[in-house]
Amino acid sequence: MTDSPVLVKSWGELTTSDLYSFVKLRTDVFFVEQKVDEEELDNRDQEPGTVHYWIEDALGCAAYIRVLVNDEPEHLDARRIIGRVVVRADRRGEGLAQVLLARALDDFGHEPMLLHAQQYVAPLYAKFGFEEFGEPFDEATIMHIGMYRAPR
């Protein structure tokens, strides 16, 4: 794992450099690498309840996640949604996503949470107490599964 600090900011706290750094990472991975053809800039980044978590290195944003809050629960009582989990190709396998998840759970683990996991990554989230629900589904041309975590 990394000793790099986790940066945490809301929309109003972000600098243009912060925003560029993680949007570039998300675009490089989701559009260029994974060929996702869905909208990346969905306006959820700038909502007052959204919290952005990322780790930087000399090349920019190395890993990123965001935590959203929905008005209505998507599954059971979960209104907090983890999404856009992404790690730069040259930093994969170092546990950066786990560092970010642990920090988000430190902040919001007392609330029920939900995420849409790419199926092959579901075991990572299970290590953090997320349990699969429902049937696998196609989201942005990649098979996903819903995962729920009860408050702790």
pLDDT tens for 8-67 read: 999 999 999 999 999 899 888 776 565 566 655 677 889 999 999 999 999 999 999 999
For 107, the token pair is 């902040």
Number of domains, the chain: 1
**CB distance 6 to 54 below 8 Å:** yes
Question: For 62-86, what is the mean pLDDT?
Answer: 94
Check residue 26 and give its pLDDT. Answer: 86
Domain contains 84: yes
Domain contains 39: yes
Question: For 68-78, what is the mean pLDDT?
Answer: 94
Check residue 32 and give its pLDDT. Answer: 59
Quick one: pLDDT band at residue 151, thresholds 50, 70, 90? Answer: very high
Domain contains 1: no
Q: Is 93 left (phi over 0), alpha (psi -120 to 50) or beta?
A: left
Check residue 113 and give its pLDDT. Answer: 97
What's the chain's length in residues? 152
The Cα–Cα gap between 52 and 85 comes to 11
Domain contains 32: yes
Question: For 72-81, what is the mean pLDDT?
Answer: 94
Question: For 106-130, what is the mean pLDDT?
Answer: 96
Domain contains 86: yes
Distance of CA 76 to the CA centre of its chain: 20
- In terms of DSSP bridges, do strands 80-87 and 7-10 run parallel, antiparallel, or are they unpaired? unpaired
Domain contains 54: yes
Query: What are 130-146's pLDDT values in tens digits?
Result: 999 999 998 878 899 99
Check residue 2 and give its pLDDT. Answer: 57
CATH number at residue 112: 3.40.630.30
Q: Render 73-142 in DSSP notation, one character per residue.
A: -SBTTB-EEEEEEEE-GGGTTSSHHHHHHHHHHHHHTTS-EEEEEEGGGHHHHHTTT-EEEEEEEEETTE
Domain contains 2: no
Range(s) of the domain holding residue 118: 7-149
Check residue 102 and give its pLDDT. Answer: 97
